[in-house]
Amino acid sequence: MYMIQKLFHGSSKIIETPLFGYGKPYNDYGLGFYCTNSLEMAKEWGVGKEQDGYANCYEIDCDGLRILDLNAPEYCILHWLTILLQNREFDVPSGLALEAKEYLLANFAIDYEHYDIIIGYRANDSYFSFAQDFINGTISYRQLNNAMHLGKLSQQFVLKSKAAFDRIRFIGSEIADSSEWYAKKMLRDQTARREYFNVERNKRQRGDLYITQIMDEEMKQDDPLLR
């Protein structure tokens, strides 16, 4: 299914040889090389407010690599959220949020560090705040799922292992002009937040499933209500 993939990585510099073991350990999926299959998204990620960037382009042969695809039918949004809880610093101001965190870690954790590549959502500031709202009991499971599609972020394709880094090949780069791509990045984020507050956050539906019910009924990953 994956075989040869074309990937893009947004950065303030050209990166011809991604280095295994470098980077920020507190990203969504821990230490790794974070890519996207969207050239446009990489350009947005690569620029700063007044700093041009680059979309670095690569190819990777995925044949034989262990790939964790969090979009696969056997996983749900809570698996993604649990990995996020293991890597990002969440604000857990309430007893509910702390209890929710402990429940998800106990019941939805994946041994993700044993995979060569992870594919899943990217939690920028807006999407991270949606996840926080869920563990604080503000929004439902349905609303969290819907919120992750606002703003049309593409999936992340994250290289985790030395084996994956050995497979990636640099094929070029494109410059990203800050005056164009920073505005697009901000607009995408603003659109997601606006749609979230206008459409999702305040639109509870009868039968919505909240984290409290998930915990009270001791729901596990095979529960049909989580599909």
pLDDT tens sequence across 79-134: 999 998 898 776 666 788 889 999 999 999 999 999 999 999 876 666 777 888 89
Tokens of 211: 């984290």
**The pLDDT of residue 12:** 94
pLDDT at 178: 95
Among left, alpha and beta (phi > 0; psi -120 to 50; other), residue 21 is left
- Check: CB of residue 70 under 8 Å from CB of residue 218: no
3-state secondary structure of 199: helix
Calculate mean pLDDT across residues 136-152. 80
What is the per-residue pLDDT for 122?
77
Model pLDDT, residue 2: 65
pLDDT for the residue numbered 25: 75
In this structure, the number of other CB atoms found within 10 A of the CB of residue 99 comes to: 15
pLDDT in tens, 19-76: 998 877 778 898 999 999 999 999 999 999 989 999 999 999 999 999 999 989 999 9
Instruction: Tell me the pLDDT tens digit for each residue of 2-28.
Output: 688 899 999 999 999 999 988 777 788
Q: Residue 151: its pLDDT value, please?
A: 53
Q: Indicate if the pLDDT at residue 1 is higher than 70.
A: no
Residues whose CB is less than 8 angstroms from the CB of residue 61 and which lie 6 or more positions away in sequence, other chains included:
3, 4, 167
* Rounded-to-10 torsion of CA 94, 98, 101, 105: 180
| 68 neighbors 181 (Cβ within 8 angstroms) | no
d(CA 93, CA 168): 41
